[in-house]
Chains A and B, each alone.
Chain A
């Protein structure tokens, strides 16, 4: 409510007032302010244009050719009539569709479960009276681990012969013989999801916790007077008021959803028999092992579309909820 009142001020920035005021004091400022923000953004834009946009456009071009790294002279040629060959091949590639299916299931499960767990954890941590800051630091532990490390770590835990999971289950007599977690369906996928959720939780929880701690106390006092149950308070006050924070947490997550590649690549490599194949690993293998850069680029571009749409949607919501220009 408060935020709606202050947003016009934020948007207007008082810039127009400034420049009016400055016209009297310092005539140069008004002329500068037109170019100034663009000058500030220019270095960032140039870097991104050179290192992200240009390669992406190049990648579109490559995807229209049958580029094979082993025979570049022969294959890196563009023919108008065969330009969509990779895309046609892709449409008929069962493994491509399967890896997309896996990717969507993986994202749906990990994003939602990460959110539910983080929400619960943030509510619990907001009520902690002793050792808040130590607990926060503990919570951040997975953030200190590179995604590759998370992958290695869980690959080790779920390893069939030396893994800790089998070791514990057999020691306690729950399992009689070692289970090949990363090979058996659907356990391979579940193991990867556990690793990804473990990695996602800290950032989400920290943001939701910051949100929970900043909520106005008077609303809860009013609810107490009305005799609301804890669950009612959560459902009708905390959850709706946390929406902007949920959006921020989701956006941060969406900026790098593909980091799951690191985990999958190490834990299962997409196998066995494409059971845990994701679009990123399939495209990656097509380029690295099969040297088919044309085809791999076409597939990778479909994953770019997913990433961009996802982030675009969340950022639009975020901008709408935050600042009105």
Chain B
């Protein structure tokens, strides 16, 4: 009997000590988390890996309530422009623009500026809707964020549907390529101690380590399925609250010839260069021949060339020859294999499928709009300033298309007052202070800097959210 009683006591003792161990462990982790949080709040410690954590994590709310409004949180400001909208919408009409730098309006609209500047889709759409429903409060909130992919767009969408908007406008696709982090990691990231550990073990990449474009996971099928999953999740989150969603395809600069990032602002010397010299001999010869308008020589050089780049230059040769359908086919194949921060044609097809499938979704085919606009059906420099961002006239064109679909579906705001005349684009351009020319060569950062005194300038040293 006494042996049995001793065994029981030992069992209880072990259990008690197991509980004590867990208590000490939990206390240790909570204390560490608290200390990290305090130090982070005081700016003495950084746990975020800068922009690398913004690709597909939303660690804190993008919007917070301040009085009777919601406004972009300090965390949200790291990747978004500042916005504010009433907490109780009442008669106000509320729409959220969701997506990446394209929807944000880069290069005119960047998160580093202290305000949302004009030039992106949001500014044109806002002006049109204001004229359409005079006297009514219209809030078109630019909730797009530079650098993120559809994982994070989904998280922002799941947050903003809670504010009961009248419509969501979704344009995401350009930054796909990475597979999402696991749920465990997402949960652990809420804790500063884990983020600190992650930062210490995997410090943020510096410029030289970065690729010019989104690194592509070799499992493209998994990337595509993850993209589909995210689009469906966004549509489902909106459907659960009866919110209509305009699903946009993304225009693709098929004629992009750049080797470098192609940004019109003069940051080029600070960027890692990827140039023609790094390409196989057949590509170098072909490009030189194309530039000298020796198209036969270019084709000869590309014949049997095993680089994927050959598709692009063959496509451009066909374009120069006037074989536009064949050129488009080749350039689309190239984009499928080398998206370079452009939406793969198969991903745009997926967006069309999902828009057709979900009852609360309506397609806005911006890709098709760009194609129809291009003189030869191959979108390029007439609207693009780089591989995926548009000049202001391109963004205005995309806003026109969104407005057209909004009106076709009867989703636009209405007012008791008759609509004002629609503002003409040239008048708006002058009002917005946008440069006269549409071409990227004439777009300078100084031109936009001068409209926002005191802006932070280059954010090559991106601050962390808590800075």
Is the A/B pair a real complex? no
Residues of chain A at the chain B interface (Cβ within 8 Å): none
